[in-house]
Amino acid sequence: MSKAKTPAARGGRYVFTFCLLALSLSAVIGRLVFLQVIAAPALAQQAEDQRLRGITLSPHRGSIYDREGEPLALSTEARTVYAAPHSVIDPQGTAEALATVLGGKPNDYLEKLTEDANFVYIARRIDMDRAASLEALELAGIGFLEDWRRVYPSGELACQILGFVGVDDEGLAGLENQYDDLLAGEAGSILAERDPQGRPMPGGVMERQEPVDGSSIVLTIDKDIQYEAQVELAAAVEEWGAKSGTAVVMDAHSGEILAMATVPGFNPNTYSKAKPAAHRNRPVTDMYEPGSTMKSFTAAAVIEEGLYNRESIFHLPPTIKVGGRTISEAHHRPTVDWSLSQIVTNSSNVGAVKLGQALGPERLYEFLKRFGLTSATGVDFPGESPGTVPRVDDWSVSSIGTIPFGQGVAITPLQLTRAMCAIANGGELVTPHFLMDLPNDPDTALAWPKERAISEATAAEMQKILADVVTDGTGSSAAVSGYQVAGKTGTAQKARTDGRGYAKDKYVASFSGFLPADDPQVVIVVCVDEPSNSIYGGAVAAPTFSRIAAFAVAHLKIPPTTQTPDDATATPEATR
């Protein structure tokens, strides 16, 4: 017979059960407090992140035009393709369809289509034809966004100047990079509620912020002169078997860059296919030893200082020794008595040394500075090189002998163009520039500083001397029918890259000049890097200068020369 439970035993059981229930209830209450009070903000944010999807709306990038309103860079309508992986019904078939229309491998698309995500980009900024073909397939889980695609309608024309943009429409090189803040605009966005499969929820919250389109810019570049410069430069590089070539065409008075060419070039529409070296705008970024073109500025310095005039006579032996180094001419000659004008006309190294010695290191350096050769030009272009002109304290004992004729210093073709402008325009050092106008902001005044380098009188004397170079000296191949041309040839040895000294049989042939010499309007510099067969600037670069110059003056409707140069007394020697 069983014993009945005592009241005490029953009471203990009730207490245990009550305590267990109380503990369980406390745990539930604690969990609720944690979820609703402590963790509530984080959980709410997580839920919102899962429910809301933000999509960027691209602005219309501003266009780039040449000085006559011709388009150089435009943004055309495009589509961006995306996928909601949870809504894709047939990932393998969809991947194969995407590869057929867009190109690429199906497996690359399949990897995206099977991601654990609500949204993935499939292709950015595709053209409208491919977008229409893809949209017609009505692939489940594949969507389209309105977008813009950067297009360069003239292909390689001004490619290094313009640069290019990346997949996010950000300027990566050239003026696309320099003026990205103006061109890019501001992106907009869409914020929408979506279901777990990434589909828009009917009646869900949606916020839309419209993008702000970018501003257009007008460049100083003349499309026709730019084309001619590129064609003629490419022909010269091919004719002389050269490594590369550069050309700059600039308004002598304003500093407006009418053309700037570099060969080899590339197509900015497919910039990733080109070698990175082709992207460089070499007249701005690359330095070289200018050689005899430097004699123009050495001669201007002695005239400005009142040491000599263009008729001053110098006794010139075949060679001259400076600091233990013997300096000779490009071609052997006997001892002569030449005027200052003849020194420049015949491109005499010995004569340039005598001019440099008369100036002395401090004054020579000061004039190199005045001509803008010791610093960057300030051009509105990224990555400009300032050149390399050592300060006087760093000169060797022979520097006063080599620098006057362009050895031991390195400058860019743009620095040379700017310095030559100072002789052409009456003595003012201009600021080279590409930006001409802001059509979306007509109230903004663009200012490009000028400063005086030499007097008008010195500039006028140098114009006559440099005109003699073309009529009677080493630059005869730079002549242009109907126009008086002034300029200077240059033949510079290239410094070694693997040690001190100069590389064997490697030269830069150049010609820097302007026209008409009696009323200079256009300055042109042509440099040909490592030509074969001939190395001299007068033979290699001067003819290209002539062809570009002839086109430029005709295109710009510059009247022919109205007066003839003074009778020159120079004795032509071998082209240098």
Q: How far apart are CA 375 and CA 451, in angstroms?
A: 14
Q: What is the CA radius of gyration of the chain?
A: 36
Beta bridge partners of 320: 327
Query: Cβ neighbours of residue 389 under 8 Å, at least 6 residues apart?
Result: 365, 368, 373, 374, 409, 410, 411
Greatest Cα pair distance in the chain: 150
The β-bridge relationship of strands 435-437 and 217-219 is antiparallel
CA distance 501 to 398: 14
58 is catalytic: no
Report DSSP state, residue 309: -
User: In this structure, what DSSP letter does residue 388 have?
Assistant: B
How far apart CA 355 and CA 353 sit, in angstroms, is: 5
Residue type, 288: Y
What b/e readout covers 459-476, taking b as 16+ CB neighbours within 10 angstroms?
Answer: bebbbbbbbbbbbbbbbb
Give the ranges where 340-478 is alpha helix by DSSP (H).
Answer: 340-345, 349-359, 361-370, 399-402, 413-424, 456-472
User: Other C-beta atoms within 10 Å of 89: how many?
Assistant: 9
Give the Å distances, CA to CA, from 327 to 259, 332, 357, 412, 455: 37, 12, 13, 25, 31
User: What gap in Å lies between CA 413 and CA 416, rounded to an integer?
Assistant: 5
CB 310 within 8 Å of CB 341: yes
Pairing status of strand 171-173 against strand 164-165: antiparallel
Among residues 154, 216, 254, 292, which one is catalytic?
A: 292
Alpha-carbon span 543 to 470, nearest angstrom: 11
Backbone phi, psi, residue 105, to 5°: -100, 140
7 HSE (CA, 13 A, CB side): 0
**115 contact partners, CB below 8 Å, separation of at least 6:** 85
Report how far apart, in Å, the C-alpha atoms of 104 and of each of 95, 123, 134, 552 are. Answer: 10, 11, 14, 46
Q: What CA dihedral angle connects 83, 87, 90 and 95, to 10 degrees?
A: 10
Q: Which residues of 98-123 are buried (b: 16+ CB within 10 A; e: fewer)?
A: bbebbeeebeebbebbeeeebbbebb
Instruction: Please compute, for residue 299, the number of CA atoms within 13 A of its CA located in the half-sphere on the CB side.
Output: 36
Catalytic residues: 292
